[in-house]
Structure 1
Amino acid sequence: MLSRRCREVTAFGTPELSALIDDMFRTMYVADGAGLAANQVGVDLRLFVYDCPDDDGIRHVGHLVNPVLELPDPGSRRLLDDFEGCLSVPGATMAVPRTDRAVVRGFDEDGSPLVIEGTGYFARCLQHETDHLNGQTYLDRLSKRDRKDALRQMEDRRADVFARRALKAAELGR
């Protein structure tokens, strides 16, 4: 499911959509994530949640349904290589080039339009989660050698990551 584009959400304002968003936030917090896309929890819908700071330390918390990423024009954007991890690639971090600004348009759970603009780390999060819904992980943006390194990191650290998640889930009563 992580390697194909997710389906558009067509039913807004439903108890099921609200429950999915709540569950995704709980799952993200258990895993100590900054964002989580629906396909990471086995749901084929264009939806992600986030709780992510920007580079100024301002915390951004929310969700976006049917997001469309708009990157700045090539002449006005800066690409930054910074380390990125992924809840679907537990324990691995690699430098990934991303723009320092991103705008994502979509909707809230009730179908009201949203425009979310992010800079720095928050822009990275918006791009990362939108990639998931388009069928990409950050591994797809790496060279073959770096991808192998990330997969090796994951293999070496996965058990520790899952043990930490289990402890956190128990603490949160899940």
Structure 2
Amino acid sequence: MAVREIRLYGDPVLRQVCAPIENIDDGVRALIADLIDTVQLPGRAGVAANQIGVALRAFSYNIDGDIGYVINPVLTEVRGEKQPTGEGCLSVPGLWHDTLRHPWARVEGIDLDGEPVVLEGDGLLAQALQHETDHLDGMVYLGRLEGETRKLAMREVRESDWF
């Protein structure tokens, strides 16, 4: 349908806990199409619905050319000790900081036909699953940073030309 503009850190929609999708209708189908179109641009691993201004529980992903989406995703399992993982975010352009993430994750949800979807894996997929479900819970990755790293990141945000 359309590549949608990404909302930037500071936009209130990014702090909202996204509502579950109750009915799959033409509006939801259009949202999913827009999420898929938006995530296909180079350098994008995932886009949450609130990043395009819609506070509903859905995200798209683009991991190693595997493109898809999940409606009403829930992070159901993580494995392994959290490790510092280099992370950025489309809603926080130009910043890159180590974020503590589990090395393996599983998300469960549904597709447009109401059929179950299970995504699980390690590496970039595990990171994206955690990152995108955080978005749907109203958290940008900066909220996971601690101490001096968080102070540095917030200074970088304040000094950026987009904030």
By how many angstroms is 1:156 displaced? 5.6
- 1:10 counterpart = 2:13: no
TM-score by structure 1 length? Answer: 0.78
Contact 2:120 2:126 in 1 (8 A): yes
In the alignment, the residues of structure 1 paired with residue 99 and residue 77 of structure 2 have an alpha-carbon distance, to the nearest angstrom, of 16
Contact 1:91 1:158 in 2 (8 A): no
Structure 1 unaligned blocks of 5 or more: 54-58, 160-174
SS in structure 2 opposite 1:2?
Answer: helix
- 1:67 counterpart = 2:78: no
> Matched residue pairs, number?
150
User: Once superposed, what is the RMSD of the aligned Cα atoms?
Assistant: 1.9
By how many angstroms is 1:111 displaced? 1.2
SS in structure 2 opposite 1:83?
Answer: strand
Counterpart code for 2:15? S
In the alignment, the residues of structure 1 paired with residue 141 and residue 67 of structure 2 have an alpha-carbon distance, to the nearest angstrom, of 22
Q: Identity of paired residues, percent?
A: 41
TM-score by structure 2 length? Answer: 0.83
In the alignment, the residues of structure 2 paired with residue 152 and residue 120 of structure 1 have an alpha-carbon distance, to the nearest angstrom, of 29
Q: Greater helix percent: which structure?
A: 1
- 1:39 counterpart = 2:50: yes
Specify whether residues 27 and 148 from structure 1 end up closer, same or farther in structure 2 by C-alpha distance, changes over 3 A only. Answer: farther
2:122 is aligned to 119
In the alignment, the residues of structure 1 paired with residue 67 and residue 34 of structure 2 have an alpha-carbon distance, to the nearest angstrom, of 15
- 1:150 counterpart = 2:153: yes
